[in-house]
Amino acid sequence: MTERPTLAVGLMSGTSLDGMDAALVRFSGPTRAELLGFVQLPYSKDYRSRLSAAITRGTTRELALLHDAIAEWAVEATAEVLAQAHVRASDLDLIAFHGQTIWHEPPIVTWQLGEPARLAEAFGVRVVSGFRGRDLAAGGQGAPLVPIADVLLFGSDHPRALLNLGGMANVTWVARRAVTEGAFAFDTGPGMAVIDDLARLIDPALPYDVDGRLGATGSVNEALLAELLADEYFTAVPPKSTGRERFGSDYAAALLRRAGPADAVATAVALTTASVAAAMSRWMPDTADLLVSGGGRHHPAVMAGLEARLGARVRVRRFDEVFFSGDAKEAVAFALLGYLTIHGQPGNLPSATGARGPRVLGVVTPA
């Protein structure tokens, strides 16, 4: 693999449905990445509603229009991060475009919307996209894919766990930085998706549970929480992954029908923290170090709940305390996946996805 510095833009729109993230990254090899710029382009309320509705009941035309619209958001985010860093598109080596997951049902299918040709045409740069399909074809879940970045970029010289609290929550255990042996990961269940959907159902003006205010005024319905935690997903043996098909707006609406607004949010917070803590206790070796990234690290009750449930044996820290902004982590991870693809290197971690072996991921749209 060449050690010539590679300049890449990584684009990520996750299950939180909150916007398009763009990270400008310089790679000097697969274990050395420098974040040069990062922007978040928040989705409008109407656009977020379109995405959410499309996941459960979108027509063919609506899905086709979203395929184009998501690419336009990606073009805008890329232009913005390049302008922020005063970098020309002609200096880029690649754009890595995850797209927007619209349906995730492994081992049958995983489907991401967003036309990569739009980016290639707008910037004259090759685009790597469609990262999940090859892993799925190889018998894997197609997710999570961020663990390869956890191993190559964010591990340590001692065992470390890395938790990403996006719409879904996924956790990676890394024995030692840049060593894939022994590393594994999986989705623990809902991260912020149910909490955020509840906030929007309670008050359509809210983009999410801002500063944890809704949940802070409620109480956990313990009987309901126990029932929710009995979902077979939580006891399923990894590798496993999930999405809004299971823990999305319909799930949130059903929860709201069974508890008062504030209590429903407080119970959803407890669901996230309890399922993460149980998953780590059940499936992961002991570790004293946990780094938390994603939007969930901004929610006071979620962070407090993690600290309370994981106990004194685990030091819970925000990803930002050790690296860069935890909001940028997934976009950086997909920039790395694009980097690995153009160098002919595998991007999946079979112990995380369940694939039959390492695979080079993605499809390249030429400049």
The confidence score (pLDDT) of residue 1 equals 53
Q: How sure is the predictor about 98, in pLDDT bands with cuts at 50, 70 and 90?
A: very high
Report strand pairing: 363-365 vs 127-129. antiparallel
Query: 359 and 294 share a domain?
Result: no
Is the same domain home to 173 and 82?
no
Residues 264 and 357 in one domain: no
Tokens of 49: 């509603």
- Asked whether the predicted pLDDT for residue 360 surpasses 60, the reply is yes
Residues 342 and 220 in one domain: no
Are 126 and 186 found together in one domain?
no
User: What is the per-residue pLDDT across 130-175, written as a single tens digit (0 to 9) for each?
Assistant: 999 999 999 999 999 999 999 999 999 999 999 999 999 999 999 9
pLDDT at position 269: 98
Which domain does 268 fall in, by range? 155-321
- pLDDT band of 8, cuts 50, 70, 90: very high
For the entire predicted model, the pTM comes to 0.95
Asked whether residue 294 falls in the same domain as residue 164, the answer is: yes
Residue 245 forms part of a structural domain = yes
Residue 361 has pLDDT above 70, yes or no: yes
pLDDT tens-digit profile of 49-80?
Answer: 888 888 888 899 999 999 999 999 999 999 99
Please tell me whether residues 356 and 225 are part of one structural domain: no
- Provide the pLDDT for residue 16: 87
Strands 160-165 and 19-27: unpaired
First-to-final CA distance of the chain: 21
Mean pLDDT, the chain, as a whole number?
95
**Do 275 and 304 lie in a common domain?**
yes
CATH number for 290: 3.30.420.40
Q: Are residues 95 and 188 in the same domain?
A: no
Residue with tokens 């623990």: 188
Confidence band of 45 (pLDDT split at 50, 70, 90): confident
Strand partners, 113: 100
Q: Domain for residue 147, yes or no?
A: no
Same domain, 177 and 309: yes
